[in-house]
Amino acid sequence: MQNPFFIKKNNVKINEILTNLNLSKQKKNYVIKDIKDLDSANINDITFFHSIKYLDSLKKTKCKLLITNKKFALFIPKKINVIYVQNILLSVSKITALFYPEALSDNFDSGVRDPNKKKYPGIKFGKNVLLGKNVRIGKKCSIGHNTIIEKNVKIGENCNIGSNVIIKNTIIGKNTNILDGAILGKKGFGFFPEKLKNIRYPHVGMVIVGNNVEIGCNNTIDRGSLTNTIIGDGTFLDNQVHIAHNVKIGKNCIITGQVGFAGSSTIGDRVMIGGQSGISGHITIGDNVQIGGGSGVIKNISSNSKVMGYPAKNIRNFLKENKLND
């Protein structure tokens, strides 16, 4: 899906990238189309490999140019040209800023205006609603008081958006409810600590919300860094849920209050998660998984499992151990 929120700089060449990384230029100064993750990168893009967790994606990638560290040299297929760096993610951050120089800014949309109700017939607007340019709102929607929808956002038919909601960098499907105080599409918590300062990471992804979704009060859903943050069809989120950048949540999940998802975690379909649970980053939870309240999930969970505790383990083992400790 084409991203309407961030404009890519044209004609970034390989020597511009190498210079930015304080590396030597090469004779053939060819154009690089974009920077993407391993799964979505194509032959003319540049990508990166920073963890063995993504070895399967590395083997399948179509990309021919890759940033990595020499400690991963043995894993790189011979067909791929490699740029070796000390700090992979910091280098990716610098290159992303080359392609998307505006992405580091997360300022408010200064172009928002009162809605032109002739342009949106049949839409119910509360008081003090502000809309950005090129906002598309489907039929039979309602937008609550003091809500701000920034430029290029798309909302499907029959959606109810509550009061005091902020939506940016987001595409929303049909029949979806977003309750009061939710914030969708802000930049993620991406940065790299150095001795003198923290360096922010550009976030050029979107939030994509499916059909028949419910997003509770005061939810915060960050946009993706290079990929998108996705909430699948039919999924319900309770109040005060936080979803970090690049998280993928499947269909018909039930996420109860105060659950937090760290970046790049992947959740299957029909997953149920109890309140105040925490999901670590870069892990995968299968389909039909049930996670008890207050759990801490720090590793992958296979489909059809029931887990609880910290670290989360098979719920029978958890209950047995706690009974022994009584």
Query: Each residue of 164-183: pLDDT tens digit?
Result: 999 999 999 999 999 999 99
Least confident of 18-27, 33-42, 100-109: 100-109
Q: Domain ranges for the chain, please list them.
A: 12-99, 124-324
Q: How many CA atoms lie within 13 A of 65 on its CB side?
A: 18
Name which of 29, 30, 48 is nearest 226 in CA terms.
Answer: 48
Q: Domain 124-324 belongs to what topology?
A: UDP N-Acetylglucosamine Acyltransferase; domain 1 (2.160.10)
Rounded Cα–Cα distance for residues 94 and 108 (Å): 23
| Residue-wise pLDDT tens digits, 123-165 | 999 999 999 999 999 999 999 999 999 999 999 999 999 999 9
Low-confidence winner among 32-41, 73-82, 100-109 (lowest mean pLDDT): 100-109
**pLDDT of 9:** 80
Q: How many Å apart are CA 221 and CA 245, to the nearest integer?
A: 8
DSSP 80: S
pLDDT higher than 80, residue 195? no
For residue 312, what pLDDT is reported? 92
pLDDT at position 53 is 87
Thinking of the domain 12-99, which architecture would CATH place it in? 3-Layer(aba) Sandwich (3.40)
Integer distance in angstroms from the first to the last C-alpha of the chain?
53
Residues 204/226, Cβ–Cβ less than 8 Å: yes
What is the pLDDT averaged over residues 269-292? 97
Render the burial of 115-142: b for 16+ CB within 10 Å, e for the rest.
Answer: beeeebeebebeeebbbbeebebbeebb
How are beta strands 313-314 and 306-308 bridged, if at all? Answer: antiparallel
Q: Is the pLDDT higher at 248 or at 93?
A: 248
Residue 149 CA to residue 104 CA, distance in Å, equals: 20
Residues annotated as catalytic are 245
| Confidence (pTM) | 0.92
| Residue indicated by tokens 């802000």 | 186
Would you state the pLDDT for residue 324? Answer: 62
